[in-house]
Amino acid sequence: MAKIKIAIDAGHGSKTAGKRTPPFTQAVDIDKDGKIDVKKGESYHEHYANVGIASLLYHKLKANGYDVIKTGWDDDNAKNDDDTPLSNRQQTIKKNKCDYSVSIHFNAYGSGAAYNSVAGVCIYIHSQYPKESRHLAEYVLQELRKGTSQQNRGIHSDNLAMCNCKTMNTKASILCEIAFMTNEREAQKLMANSDFWEECATEIAKGIERYCNCNNKEEVNSKGVYTLTHTVVAGDTLSKLAKTYNTTVDKLVKLNKLKDPNKISVGQKLILMKYKLYTVKQGDTLSKISQQYLGSAKRYPEIMELNMLADTLIHAEQILKIPVD
């Protein structure tokens, strides 16, 4: 079987205008070798941190047996990387016939001159040509949320070049905004911290691994209802599946009209969940969406559960799964 091919893209160039933190309010030793890497009052470049994670991720994926290529960076030259135009990055990915691509970035909010409170991790997929990107993004985001505690901003849809599966001819392309470089804590404690890079690279690699090995399939019908099915393998039980997919045995029994929840057989196709997708608009709240789609504002916890939200904060352009009974 041909190896799965993945492109790892590190956003921007080392000297690209903007794309750096506001001045650090303290000196930081990124790799804890006793030497200061960023002085108090200096700005840190997004590209350096992007490469920090991209490089670790590249080697982890190679070690896991994937065929991996780099776009937009060079291991030995991170501080001297020119900004590779987006169209060149896209063409490299297309020419190399990559199955998937992952672009690493840090987010920014406001003018970039001063720190503000906007924070958190999110993953972007293309608004028109996402193909399987949301499914991959879910696995990666799930893993990214396991490490250092950060606000979960969810999966967002936008018209970004590095997410365009059509132009790059990929099956799935995601862009990870790991944290905000305009947030004081995230810039100094996460972005300029090689332990955090290691943690993120491990988590992204694990998300990709789980996605590539997942024994499930998502299909959508003409009414926009998605069905996620799983093919039973030896050792599967309903309670194990319920735990893996964040649902309940009762729901699985009902969805699959099972007579005996203890009797499932290898090769059997089980429906895990059904949902529609909704893209959050400015001014939306979970109870408003719940009222509109589930008939009651009080059912919003079901949306939280399906999307694994830790709080009720949602953001414009965030993609939410809405349960379908």
Give 248-297 as a DSSP string.
-HHHHHHHTT-S-TT---TT-EEEEEEEEEEE--TT--HHHHHHHHHS-G
Which is closer to Zn ion, CB of 118 or CB of 232?
A: 118
Smallest separation, CB 103 to Zn ion (Å): 8
Smallest separation, CB 307 to Zn ion (Å): 25
Which is closer to Zn ion, CB of 47 or CB of 230?
A: 47
Contact yes or no for 152/142 (Cβ under 8 A)? no
Among 11, 72, 120, 207, indicate the residue that binds Zn ion (CB under 5 A): 11
Q: Is 105 in the site for Zn ion (CB under 5 A)?
A: yes
Chain residue whose CB lies nearest Zn ion: 105
One-letter identity of residue 186: E
Q: Is 20 in the site for Zn ion (CB under 5 A)?
A: no
Contacts of 311 (CB under 8 A, 6+ apart): 151
Distance CA 101, CA 249 (A): 35
Question: What DSSP character marks residue 207?
Answer: H
Q: What's the CA angle centered on 133, arms 127 and 137, to 5 degrees?
A: 110
Q: Is 120 in the site for Zn ion (CB under 5 A)?
A: no
| Contact range with Zn ion by CB under 5 A, out of 102-110, 121-129, 134-142, 256-264 | 102-110
| Contact range with Zn ion by CB under 5 A, out of 98-106, 141-149, 150-158, 274-282 | 98-106
Smallest separation, CB 109 to Zn ion (Å): 12
Smallest separation, CB 110 to Zn ion (Å): 15
Which residues on adjacent β-strands are paired with residue 140? none
Smallest separation, CB 174 to Zn ion (Å): 14
Q: What is the CA radius of gyration of the chain?
A: 21
Smallest separation, CB 11 to Zn ion (Å): 4
Residue numbers 261-300 binding Zn ion by CB under 5 A: none
**Site of tokens 């309670």:** 239
Q: Is 22 in the site for Zn ion (CB under 5 A)?
A: no
SS3 206: helix
Q: Is 153 in the site for Zn ion (CB under 5 A)?
A: no
Q: Which of 63, 25, 65, 59 is nearest to 44 (CA)?
A: 25
Chain centre distance of CA 16: 24
Q: Is 89 in the site for Zn ion (CB under 5 A)?
A: no
Which is closer to Zn ion, CB of 105 or CB of 135?
A: 105
Smallest separation, CB 300 to Zn ion (Å): 32
| Contact range with Zn ion by CB under 5 A, out of 3-11, 124-132, 266-274, 277-285 | 3-11
Smallest separation, CB 12 to Zn ion (Å): 6
Distance CA 161, CA 86 (A): 7
Size of the site for Zn ion (CB under 5 A): 2
> Which structure tokens are listed for 322?
């809405």
**Site of tokens 């895990």:** 272
Q: Is 45 in the site for Zn ion (CB under 5 A)?
A: no
Q: Is 13 in the site for Zn ion (CB under 5 A)?
A: no
Which is closer to Zn ion, CB of 132 or CB of 317?
A: 317
Q: Which strands sit side by side in the sheet containing 226-231, from one edge to the other?
A: 216-220, 226-231, 269-279, 319-323
Q: Is 47 in the site for Zn ion (CB under 5 A)?
A: no
Q: Which residues bind Zn ion (CB under 5 A)?
A: 11, 105
